[in-house]
A = this chain, B = another copy of it.
Amino acid sequence: MDIKEYMQDLGQRARAASRIISKAESGKKNLALLKIAEAIENNQATLISENQRDLDVSRQNNLDSASLDRLTLSPKTIQAMIDGLKQVAALPDPVGEITDLCYRPSGIQVGQMRVPLGVIGIIYESRPNVTVDAAALCLKSGNACILRGGSEALYSNQAIAACITQGLIAADLPEDTVQCVATSDRAAVGELITMKEYVDIIVPRGGKSLIERISNDATIPVIKHLDGICHVYIDDSADINKAVAIADNAKTHRYGVCNAMETLLVAEGIAPKVLPLLAKIYLDKGVELRGCIKTCSFIPQCSRAFEEDWRTEYLAPILSIRIVKDIDEAMEHIHQYSSAHTDAIVTENYILARRFLREVDSSSVMVNASTRFADGFEYGLGAEIGISTDKLHARGPVGLKGLTSLKFIVLGDGHIRQ
C-alpha cells in the first residue's frame, strides 16, 4: 500500500463527508451516537477478543505494564465508552447556534453562527477508549475526523471503528465521517499532519514527546498542551484550613495528571504555620518533598530543590516547595516557571484575589480552589478533547465549542451600503 495515496484518499473522503455532517440535523447525529453505543454493547465479545490480540503482540514486544494497562479493554472500560457516547448525545448541539444577533444603525441585523471546523485529525497513543471519545465529540460538533491511534491498539481500534461505522450507517450518515487509519506505518502520521487541503486541525493526545514532535512537523494548526506545571500559592491572608485542604488535594488527589500541583509557593508570614501541617500530610502519603533553603528549615525531611525542579512536571508523588515574600514574588515565579496550564491562589483578601485573577496568564486561574478542578467535566463543558495551553482559538479545557468556529450572519431586507 502506498501510504501517501492511502492517506490522501482518507482525506478526500473525510472532506466529502464533512460537507454532509456539517449540516446534519441534531437528531440524526444523536441517533448515530446512540447506535454506536448499541453496536459496542452488542459487539463486546469481539472487542475484547480483538483487544486480546493487541495485548498478546504487545506483551511479546515487552510493552511496559502502564501502557498495557491503558491498552486493556475490560467490561468496565467498555461500559465507560457506552456511557460517554450517551452523555455526548445528551449535550446540546453547538452547531448552528446564533449569538449576539442585533440591529445595526444601517438596518441590517448582524450576529454570529457557530459552525464546524471541517476535518479534524486526532493522533493518540494506545488507549482504545480515545477512539470512541474523539469520534463522539467530532461527530456531535459536525466535523469529520481521521483517527490515528497507537499501533499497539490496531486490532482494538479497527473493531471499534466497525461499531462506529455501523452506528453512522444506522443513522443514515456518511460512514466516512469517522475514519480510523488502518495501518501502523508511522509515515501515515507525517501525511496526516501535512494534508492542508483535507485536514483543518490536528489534536495530538499523549505524552509530551509525541505532542512536541507533531507540533514541530505539522503544517496544519495544532490544538495542544505540552506541560502541566501547576502552582498553588498560599498567601499570608489565607485561611489555614482551606490552604491545607487545597494544597493536599491539588497534589495527592491524583499524581499522574496534568492538573496536579507540581510546585507549592508559600508566603513567608504563613509558612511557619502551614508548612508543618502540610509536611505531615505529604510525608504520611509518601510524597517526596524538595524545597528552597527556608522550606528545608521548616521541614527536616525536605531535600533541597534545584533550578531544574521548578521546571519539572513530576507527574509523580514529588512536590517542590518555595517560600516567597508575597504575591508579587509568587506571581513572578509563576510567570517564569508555570506552563500556563493552571495556577491557584489561596487567600481571604479581596484585593489579592482580584489581582491574581487578572495578572496570572494561565489557561485556568483559580482562587481558593484545587487545581484538580481544571477539567472539561468539572467546568460544565460536558466532555473534553484535551486541554489547550495555547492562546489562539481554544484555551484551557476544549469541549464541543473548541471544535467549532463562528461565522458572521447578516439579515437584511434589500439593504445596500451607503
Contact = CB atoms under 8 A, between A and B. Distances in A.
A397 interface: yes
Report how many copies the assembly holds: 2
A104 B414 contact: no
Contact of A104 (B22, B201, B249, B379): B379
A115 B362 CA distance: 10
A365 interface: yes
A110 interface: yes
Interface of A: 19, 22-23, 96, 102, 104, 106, 108, 110, 113, 115, 117-118, 200-201, 221, 239, 241-242, 245-246, 248-250, 253, 335, 344, 346, 353, 357-359, 361-370, 372-374, 378-380, 391-393, 395-397, 405-417
A115 to B, nearest CB: 6
A389 to B, nearest CB: 11
Nearest to A372: B417
Nearest to A363: B407
Contacts of A249: 416-417
A368 B242 CA distance: 58
Contact of A373 (B367, B378, B405, B417): B417
A-B residue pairs, 8 tightest by C-beta: A369-B412, A242-B414, A249-B416, A372-B417, A366-B410, A393-B393, A396-B408, A391-B405
A358 B409 CA distance: 9
Contacts of A241: 414
Contacts of A110: 378-380
10 contacts: A19-B335, A108-B373, A113-B358, A242-B413, A246-B415, A248-B416, A363-B408, A364-B407, A369-B414, A395-B408
